[in-house]
Amino acid sequence: MSHPNPIDAVETARAVAAGELSAEQVVTRALNAARDLGGRLNLFLSLDRERALDRARAVDSARAAGRALGPLAGVPVALKANMCAEGFESNCASRILAGYHAPYTATFVMRLLDAGAIPIGVTNMDEFAMGSSGENSAFGPAKNPWDEARTPGGSSSGAAGAVAAGIVPIALGSDTGGSVRQPAALCGILGLKPTYGRISRYGLIAFASSLDQVSPFARSVRDLELLLELLSGADPLDSTSLPLAPLGRSGEEGARLDGLRIGVPAQYMPAGLDPRVRTAIEASLATFESLGAKLVEVSLPHTDAAIPCYYVVATAEASSNLARFEGVRYGMRELGDGSLQGMMAATRAAGFGPEVKRRILLGTYVLSSGYYAAWYGQALKVRRLLRRDFDRAFEQCDVIAGPTSPTPAFRLGAKTADPVAMYLNDILTAPASLAGLPALSLPCGFAEESGTRLPLGLQLIAPPLEDARVLRAARAFESATDFHTQHPALFAS
Amino acid sequence: MSAAHGHPSPTAPTGATPPAAHGTPDRAVVARTAALARLALSDAELDAVAPQFARILGSFEALRGLDTSGVEPMTRPIELAMIMRQDVPGDCLDPQAALAPAPKQVNGFFAVPKTLEAEG
């Protein structure tokens, strides 16, 4: 199963380099699928057809001239609308940034371009990455290619849908509390949130700076490995990027996992867990045992506090980060009563959607005098307790495994009236974000619902900087299963 | 850390313990918070958001109940010392490019409504 069907980024680049496919053919096909199928599912906010085709022709010319090609030469890629790149509208799916074109290009986009990858467009998302279903987009929700009545997950809704629907083999999202892992699970693809600091955030419009990580989507583990190699490494433009070299690939094919200790936290398999999710995870654990891994019970006792901790920390940081959108330096302006303060308040009132306003209010409240210690200060201490839980668990195991999402994809509209129910979607992904750990979601089964097959995701978490360890475990699992090769009926062929 | 400490209190005079600190924030607290956040909320928005706000904070009680005495706050996941670089000028953005996304500019500056009243 080293050659997933349909072909992944590594195979696409090989076929282009070998002359079996031209980059122009590959990119034209992706652009057409993004327009047609992507349009039907509302996955893209804008496409950059001419520039993408120019870049594809440049790859074909370079090949014809015998020049060396990059490892992603001719591979179409989708970006998330909170990523800055010259030529793209980086509007964060928000009215306040409608029409915003960044005057610079993110480091991670530069690294993709240097490798020969071809960005074709920016994808739909929850406004400013605040959401778990894509429904907080100012431009309407993206739809899940497995069932158009359901969410693809969020906040990286369009990017996940675009990979699942076969429009592009790879895409970049951003993961703050699960915004890549959860949509990967709900769309039946892979998503990797690296260790915090592995990939430069320069050019990613900030939501919560101590949590945000640029995170790739793919349909094969080897594509994730290649993307991590290309995107990781210190960046002088981001002082939180780790002073480390890019993470190299192991080069191993799907191997056994003899001796690997896989920790299963009871808190990630609670009594009320969806039985279809439980069954798929238990089968996945049995697969790991058959590959030689040893299962170990571990405990993450503060898991229940992860959601409040996350929503206090993330909204506090967001209230600060989003203060910059006030009608002066970018985006729209509403004059209000004509004063400076009135202009700012009117611009923000007209430009932000309801969930962004709610989170700015929450973040402002937990940071305000009299409430700071009880809410924000307490959340920072609980964040350390959550990290200690992981440190203790990793004394007994090498990798932690469990579900990525407590349920398969839910119906659009099912949770929009209740923010608390929506926030609980993040219960299994927020802890690794708060602790800064590498975590990956990969396809591990399906749930039948109303005659539709809905994908399920397995989450693997490793200690800080052990990104290669989750990839190794995922590669072995991929070689023993075929979930990653299956795709929805709505698939660009 | 990006989050700033010490917005003024949305309720009581600074320094006093606000009565709502351990209870449910009411509509007035939400309105004051909106003013601090520079968000002009309509009455209808305030009516809608105040009960949600109370419900969200109410669901966060698991956080408040934990004993964290002696626990150091964790502000970032990877606790690195501040990274320093050589104090050498590098490339920077062209001023015209930086101004281009602004809704209004005048003579190479961001333009805002007048902030000071004329004085006698």
Cβ–Cβ < 8 Å for A219, A190: yes
ipTM given for this complex = 0.90
Chain A environment of B76 (Cβ under 8 Å): 196, 210, 240, 436
| Closest by Cα among A486, A441, A487 to A461 | A441
Q: Which of B25, B103, B110 sits opposite A331 (nearest CB)?
A: B103
Residue A11: count of CB within 10 angstroms of its CB = 21
Pairwise CB contact (< 8 Å): B78 & A380: no
The whole-number average pLDDT for the span B8-19 is 44
Burial of A395 (0-12, 13-18, 19+ CB in 10 A): exposed
Residue B78: which pLDDT band, with cuts at 50, 70 and 90? Answer: confident
> d(Cα A388, Cα A375) in Å, to the nearest integer?
20
| Residue A174 confidence (pLDDT) above 60 | yes
Residue that is written with structure tokens 């240097």 in the block:
A114
Is the CB of A361 less than 8 angstroms away from the CB of B53?
Answer: yes
Q: What local confidence, expressed as pLDDT, does residue B114 receive? A: 87
Contact residues on chain B for A302, CB-CB shorter than 8 A:
66
Distance from C-alpha of A145 to C-alpha of A134, rounded to nearest angstrom: 13
β partners of residue A454? A447
B38-66 mean pLDDT: 92
Quick check: A371 and B45 CB within 8 A? no
The predicted-structure confidence for A346-383, as pLDDT tens digits, reads as follows 999 999 999 999 999 999 999 999 999 999 999 999 99
Phi, psi of A455, rounded to the nearest 5 degrees: -70, 155
Work out the minimum CA distance from B119 to partner chain A, whole angstroms: 16
Q: Specify the residue for token string 């600091």.
A: A197
Across the interface, which of A211, A332, A348 has its CB nearest the CB of B39? A348
Contacts of A195 in chain B (CB under 8 A): 78
- B85 vs A: CB within 8 A: yes
- Is it the case that residue A186 has pLDDT exceeding 90? yes
Do residue A365 and residue B29 have CB atoms under 8 angstroms apart?
Answer: yes
Contact B73 A372 (CB under 8 A): no
What are residue A453's DSSP bridge partners? A448
Q: Give the mean model confidence (pLDDT) for residues A57-84.
A: 98
CATH number of A9-260+470-485: 3.90.1300.10
In the sheet that holds A170-175, the strands lie side by side as A44-47, A118-123, A76-80, A170-175, A213-218, A190-193, A439-449, A452-461, A399-403, A261-265, A294-298
Quote the Cα angle for A446-A215-A114, to 5°: 125
Q: A489 — phi, psi (to 5°)? A: -60, -35
Q: Which of B33, B41, B73 sits opposite A365 (nearest CB)?
A: B33
pTM: 0.94
CB contact under 8 A, A382 and B103: no
CB neighbours (10 Å) of residue A349?
19
Q: What is the mean pLDDT of chain A?
A: 95
Write down the domain spans for chain A.
9-260+470-485
Query: Do A254 and A480 meet the contact criterion of CB atoms below 8 Å apart?
Result: yes
Q: Which residue from B3, B74, B113 is facing A367, i.e. has the nearest CB?
A: B3
In chain B, residues 24-43 whose CB comes closer than 8 Å to chain A: 25, 29-30, 33-42
pLDDT band at B70 (very low <50, low <70, confident <90, very high): very high
Of A70, A457, A43, A439, the closest CA to residue A276 belongs to A457
Domain-wise residue ranges, chain B: 23-64
Q: Where are the alpha helices (DSSP H) in A241-305?
A: 275-290
Neighbouring C-beta atoms of residue A99, cutoff 10 Å: 12
Say how far apart CA A346 and CA A341 lie, in whole Å: 9
| Rg (chain A; Cα; Å) | 21
Q: What is the tens place of the pLDDT at every residue in A449-481?
A: 988 999 999 999 999 999 999 999 999 999 999
Q: Do A319 and A207 contact (CB within 8 A), yes or no?
A: no
Residues A96-142: tens digit of each pLDDT:
999 999 999 999 999 999 999 999 999 999 999 999 999 999 999 99
Instruction: Yes or no: say if A400 and A269 are a contact pair by the CB < 8 Å rule.
Output: no
DSSP states of A76-97:
EEEEETTB--TTSB--TT-GGG
A398-437 as b/e, with b when 16 or more CB fall inside 10 Å? bbbbbbbbbbbbbebebbbeebeebbbbbbbbbbbbbbbb
Instruction: Name the residue among A141, A150, A203 with its Cα closest to residue A174.
Output: A203
Q: Do residues A130 and A355 lie in contact, with contact meaning Cβ atoms separated by under 8 Å?
A: yes
Q: In whole numbers, what is the pLDDT of chain B averaged over residues?
A: 80
B118 pLDDT tier (thresholds 50, 70, 90): low
Phi, psi of A485 (to 5 degrees): -90, -5
pLDDT at B8: 56
Check if B98 contacts A (Cβ < 8 Å): yes
Contacts of B98 in chain A (CB under 8 A): 103
* Strands A44-47 and A190-193, bridge-based pairing: unpaired
Average confidence (pLDDT) over A158-168: 98
Residues of B within 8 A of A243 (CB-CB) are 80, 83
